[in-house]
Structure 1
Amino acid sequence: MRVLVTPTSLSRTPDAPALQTLRDEVGEVVLNPYGRPLTARELSDMLSGVDGVIAGLDDYSAEALEAADRLKVIARYGVGVDRVDLDAAASRGIVVTRTPGANALSVAELAIGLAFAVARGITVADAGVRAGGWPRIDGRELTGGTFGVVGFGAIGRLVAERARGVGMTPVAYDPFLPDAVFGDAGVERLDIDDLCRRSDVVSLHVPFTDGTRHLIDARRLGLLPAGAIVINTARGGLLDETAVRDALDRGTLFGAAVDAYETEPPSASPLVGHPRVVSTPHSGGHTREAVQRMTDQSIADLLAVLRGDGSPNAVSPTRP
């Protein structure tokens, strides 16, 4: 059998033990040669004759999948499946899996770290000292504030726990969970507009869908308290980047941290380079520990499907 491996963090370590184990199981493993997520055209050129894919943040569009003459499984190395055309995959009998929870702790820790990086201007201070300066940064304290968690799945709940641990009061929004989930976590449930009105920090942890595109737009930015911070470690497109830039320029928003952009790399984003924006390269899941968990789980899912056993981590067009 032949398996394509596209995540950049795996492809740059071709001799990794996990990849050798995969070779032993399937025979041939083809690695992403580009050092970045693949376009639909590049995937189309590589999917012919492939039985399974360990998939990164590549464009698995219907057009790309037309070349998948033997493909049985796309095992996402991560949680989001917004870059996979689930309908097209299902129509071709391709099983799509993901690794829920594997990078939850890693993303949650980044979200909290970014909140402090913005609040204290850490990146600006660091750049100033590196350049030979000695800047004085007007930061702000987070203790005593309210931390709004948008999306209360595995990552959101870990973020809420850590926000409470640094002296903030977490509140959360998630329309798809029962009240008991919030009650068990000891977190007040709010609708998203009320969450925006009350939160000093808003952190996004929802998938990107037609319904969540620009979930935080100009109107909701206008609901935030003066001096609030917005963080996106989930998916590009959840934030209206132009509206965020306008709020920063007007001074109504203290700062923002963005790990996921509408276009990646985000060369055209109005937020990159702004002094009160901390930018990271979609690295929420990139810790050694999370990489190992995602690797192990995605390979296990891929092999299970190829053996005909199926996987509990499979998703469908109606249950993303």
Structure 2
Amino acid sequence: MDLKKVLVADAVDAACVELLKEHSIEVDCKYKLPKDQLIAEIPNYDGLIVRSDTKVTEDVIKAAKKLKVIGRAGAGVDNIDVNAATARNILVLNTPGGNAISACELTCSLITSLARNVIPAAASLKAGRWDRKLYSGYELYGKTLGILGLGRIGREVAIRMQAWGMKTVGYDPIVTAEEAKQFNVESLTLEQIWPIADYITVHTPLIPETRNLISEAVLNKCKKGVRIVNVARGGIINEADLLKAIKTGQCGGAALDVFEQEPPTNPITLELIQQEKVIATPHLGASTAEAQIRVAVEISEQLVALTGKSKKIYHYPGSNKQKRIGKPEEIDRG
């Protein structure tokens, strides 16, 4: 593939730009372009690199006269109209494993924070109160963690929370029971998970089958006081239903790093964020120095591989000489 000029539309680590330039690819960095400006700019480029901020819509893709590849420095491609790209023979790439450890570690920290009321207790103490009894928590030892999605992130979460003494059960339509057993997760159906899980964490992509996966109907099937964690994608959990469950006590707490709208302005989302039993963070799953470097390098390596300009870098979809991290079945879907 002949890639002469690439537009980097969202801030990525400098390693991405450096690697592309090392292989004689011209790079322009123009961050957070409004849609009309992006449409005006995109005809000049063979490649486009984004993260989460830039939405690569059908209108943008139609305006791209020379575009051959769109790369997302991160997991998932829900901000890219893949159908429109495919219709124009534009390759869409991402870096599914680059932020797996970072997202996993945030998930685990949120689970432990929910169990021990860390956030509200810290805020209370800073406000000058000494509310030891009010913020008494629960041990994780012996509790059941339901993991929805057993890709890289889900598996890493399972391994770490097992060290806390949690029983791990999970659901993934692609991962077999035998594969799940290899990392000590009991494979169950969703209907089997709802009534037994003390904590539920989601690690799936946002697709039609997972939108509103956790709704009022599901929450009512769960244990009273179940705690919910989402470091995957906004929209997997119905926020209005979750708010209702928090208020009634059916849900004992939630930790949310992602939202249906980012940044959130919807009144329901804003009310949900303000609940004391809710820990809310501004989409920090991949926000570590290590993950930012990793996804930046991985997406630039894939673009370089497509050009055939390097004998050392040959990692690209469909290649007979793929340089992979982990086995093909370990590629994360969330």
Q: Same fold (TM over 0.5)?
A: yes
Contact 1:2 1:28 in 2 (8 A): yes
Please state how far the C-alpha of 1:41 moved relative to its aligned partner.
Answer: 4.0
Aligned counterpart in structure 1 of residue 316 of structure 2, from 290, 311, 318: 311
The worse-fitting range, judged by mean Cα deviation, of 229-238 and 19-28 is 19-28
RMSD (Å) for aligned C-alpha atoms:
2.1
Check if 1:160 corresponds to 2:158.
yes
1:255 is matched with 253
2:262 is matched with 264
2:5 is matched with 2
1:180 is matched with 178
Contact 1:95 1:305 in 2 (8 A): no
The amino acid that maps onto 2:9 is: T
1:292 is matched with 293
Distance 1:282 1:306 in 2: 33
The amino acid that maps onto 1:256 is: A
Distance 1:190 1:39 in 2: 45
Return closer, same or farther for 1:198/1:42 CA change in 2, 3 Å cut-off.
Answer: farther
1:101 is matched with 97
1:30 match: secondary structure: strand
Aligned counterpart in structure 1 of residue 41 of structure 2, from 42, 46, 50: 46
Contact 2:15 2:293 in 1 (8 A): no
Distance 1:297 1:160 in 2: 25
Provide Cα deviations, 1:80-99, integer angstroms capped at 9, x if missing partner.
01221111111112111111
Contact 2:19 2:301 in 1 (8 A): no
Question: TM-score, normalized by length of structure 1?
Answer: 0.89
Structure 1 stretches of 5 or more lacking a match? 315-319
Contact 2:145 2:168 in 1 (8 A): yes
Contact 2:15 2:296 in 1 (8 A): no
1:97 match: secondary structure: strand
Provide Cα deviations, 1:97-144, integer angstroms capped at 9, x if missing partner.
111211111111111110111222222122223333333313222211
Return closer, same or farther for 1:68/1:199 CA change in 2, 3 Å cut-off.
Answer: same
Question: TM-score, normalized by length of structure 2?
Answer: 0.86
Provide Cα deviations, 1:15-71, integer angstroms capped at 9, x if missing partner.
x3442332333453222433xxx6644532332201112221121111121121111
Return closer, same or farther for 1:138/1:6 CA change in 2, 3 Å cut-off.
Answer: farther
1:170 match: secondary structure: strand
Return closer, same or farther for 1:181/1:43 CA change in 2, 3 Å cut-off.
Answer: farther
Check if 1:116 corresponds to 2:116.
no
Contact 1:112 1:163 in 2 (8 A): yes
Distance 1:245 1:76 in 2: 32
The worse-fitting range, judged by mean Cα deviation, of 279-288 and 231-240 is 279-288
Provide Cα deviations, 1:248-270, integer angstroms capped at 9, x if missing partner.
00011110011111000123214
Distance 1:172 1:125 in 2: 31
Contact 2:85 2:92 in 1 (8 A): yes
The amino acid that maps onto 2:316 is: S
Distance 1:128 1:109 in 2: 25
The amino acid that maps onto 1:110 is: L
Identical positions, percent: 35
1:236 match: secondary structure: coil
1:59 match: secondary structure: coil
1:238 is matched with 236
1:276 is matched with 277
Return closer, same or farther for 1:120/1:32 CA change in 2, 3 Å cut-off.
Answer: farther
1:194 is matched with 192
Contact 2:43 2:65 in 1 (8 A): yes
Aligned counterpart in structure 1 of residue 64 of structure 2, from 39, 63, 68: 68
Q: How many residues align?
A: 307
2:75 is matched with 79
Provide Cα deviations, 1:216-241, integer angstroms capped at 9, x if missing partner.
01111111111111001111100000
Contact 1:4 1:52 in 2 (8 A): yes
Contact 2:15 2:297 in 1 (8 A): no
2:182 match: secondary structure: helix
The amino acid that maps onto 1:289 is: E
The amino acid that maps onto 1:146 is: T
1:210 is matched with 208
Structure 2 stretches of 5 or more lacking a match? 320-332
2:20 is matched with 22
The worse-fitting range, judged by mean Cα deviation, of 125-134 and 95-104 is 125-134
